[in-house]
Structure 1
Amino acid sequence: MSLNTWAQQASLRIARLKYGGGGDWYGNKTSLPNLIKFCNQNLKTNLAAEEDIVEPGSPELFNYPFVHMTGHGNVVFTESEAQNIRKYLIAGGFLHIDDNYGLEKFVRREMKKVFPELNFVELPFNHPLYKAKFPFPAGLPKVHEHDGKSPQGWGLIWQGKLVCFFSYECDLGNGWEDQSVYNDPETVRQQALRMGANLVYYAMTTL
């Protein structure tokens, strides 16, 4: 399926990235179904209720307008996987990387394989991503404390377009989880879900 056919599909699917290296790519099991439900209710999208699992070297990667990656530990992309991700992102795909804690050094190293010529840049708070559907005039919401740092949104920009967004010191995915998992206040969960909806909407409207 080519990327430019996404908008014509009756039902879209989003995916979780199953990467190598030993990190827990499968973390936050209830997060994406909850985000999908929120998007379908609030953005009137028609996303399938459960996410798919896709590997970075698979041709199936090109089936998804939005791919989510999370975890705590090591990440390793082979050269062919890195090239496949690069082609996917240049073709119009969108990768959201959510640092569940401890992912940053691996993400920065492996995404250099994907885009050796690019560096992550912190997005200004007036970036369209932060107001795609719900306003976030101060950038990412803070969901969980890690090292007491402010949340930061880092992006890879390819020819003027944001193709990869890295949410750091924020833990959006934890905020998308069932409330019983972390017992976060509902106000925090709603902010996390709204920011997640911005990500999905941005990915689907900036092909």
Structure 2
Amino acid sequence: MSKFSIKYKIKLLILLVLISYICFHSDLIAQKTESKFRIARVKYSGGGDWYNDQTSEPNLLKFIAQNTNLPIDPVYEFVDLASDNLFAYPVIYLTGHGNVNFTNTESQKLRSYLQNGGFLYIDDDYGLNEYIRKEMKKVFPEQDFAEIPFSHGIYSCHFKFPKGLPKVHEHDDKAPQGFGLFYNGRLCVFYSYESNLGDGWVDPDIYKDTEQIRDAAFKMGTNVVVWALTN
């Protein structure tokens, strides 16, 4: 056998070992990345601005990472309710102003997602209320939103909110309320009305809320996520 053949085989062997090493560690990296918690914004039709305030989720996730032991990937992502990607997210977030419309397919997919352990957080950014109530009736026609009492664990599971939701933006100057939908006794949809937590999560120069208001919004948002992941 020539020296060239021996050298060639040695180089080929080294190359194969390197390829195997890279592939193996790439899989590990992918697994670690996929294991980090993310929230997906719900994309919906109807004309409402589902896409507004895109710094909300990354800022909230950074706060959660600093104040819990949850592995977090603080990115902005959105998901179509008709997509199978929906089931990759344990928590999804819906917000905006104005009209919301779910197709029959989206309603059925969302119901399946919620019945199989998923959690939907809805935040009325003003003008969402009448539309989201109508659309969620397509998802759970057998029930209406029930007001969540202050004694519920979502208000105390990590940070304490003995008086319920904090007031971030005035809207119609009504008291903030938290509503829920349940499946087999589990809170699977939490809806904040006249509170607007999401506006408290955005970059501080956007709405110029006080640090006290922003801190309360972040803490309540953390409670929503912690409750969703542990119940």
Q: Which runs of 5+ in 1 are unaligned?
A: 1-8
Residue 83 of structure 1 corresponds to 108
Question: Between Structure 1 and Structure 2, how many residues are aligned?
Answer: 198
Matching of residues 58-97 of structure 1 within 5 Å: 58-97=83-122
Tell me if 1:184 matches 2:209: yes
Which residue of structure 2 lines up, in the alignment, with residue 152 of structure 1? 177
- Matched residue, 1:3: none
Give the letter for the 1:198 counterpart: N
Which gives a bigger RCO, structure 1 or 2 (Cα 8 Å, sep 6+)?
Answer: 1
Q: Which runs of 5+ in 2 are unaligned?
A: 1-33
Q: Which structure would you say has the larger Rg?
A: 2
Q: Partner of 2:199 in structure 1?
A: 174
- Specify which of 127, 130, 141 is matched with residue 155 of structure 2: 130
Give the SS at the match of 2:206. Answer: helix
Greater helix percent: which structure? 2
Question: Which residue in 2 is equivalent to 1:20?
Answer: 45
Q: Tell me if structure 1 keeps the 8 A contact 2:159–2:219.
A: yes
CA contact 1:14–1:47 (8 Å) conserved in 2: no
Contact 1:10 1:46 (C-alpha < 8 Å) held by counterparts: yes
Out of 77, 80, 102, the residue aligned to residue 127 of structure 2 is 102
Greater displacement, 12-21 / 103-112: 12-21
Q: Contact 2:55 / 2:76 at 8 angstroms: preserved in 1? A: no
Quick one: distance in 2 between partners of 1:81 and 1:34? 28
Matched, 1:203 2:228: yes
Cα deviation 1:172-204 (Å, max 9, x = unaligned): 000011111111000110000000000111111
2:6 corresponds to which residue? none
Percent same amino acid at aligned positions? 53
Letter of the aligned partner of 1:24 in structure 2? D
Worse-matched range after superposition: 33-42 or 43-52: 43-52
Paired with 2:198 and 2:74, the residues of 1 have a C-alpha distance of 16
Question: Once the 2 structures are TM-superposed, how far is the Cα of residue 99 of structure 1 from its aligned partner?
Answer: 0.2
Question: Is 2:81 the partner of 1:56?
Answer: yes
CA distance in 1, matches of 2:35, 2:123: 28
Deviation at 1:51, TM superposition (A): 2.7
Report deviation, 1:118.
Answer: 1.1
Q: Is the 8 A contact 2:182 2:189 kept in 1?
A: yes
Distance 1:158 1:106 in 2: 21
Residues 176 and 189 in structure 1, CA contact (< 8 A), matched pair in contact too: yes
Query: How much has 1:29 moved relative to structure 2?
Result: 1.5
Deviating 4+ runs (over 6 angstroms): none
- Per-residue CA shift, 1:48-87, capped at 9, x if unaligned? 1203210111111111111000000110000010000000
**Offset at residue 133 of structure 1 (A):** 0.3
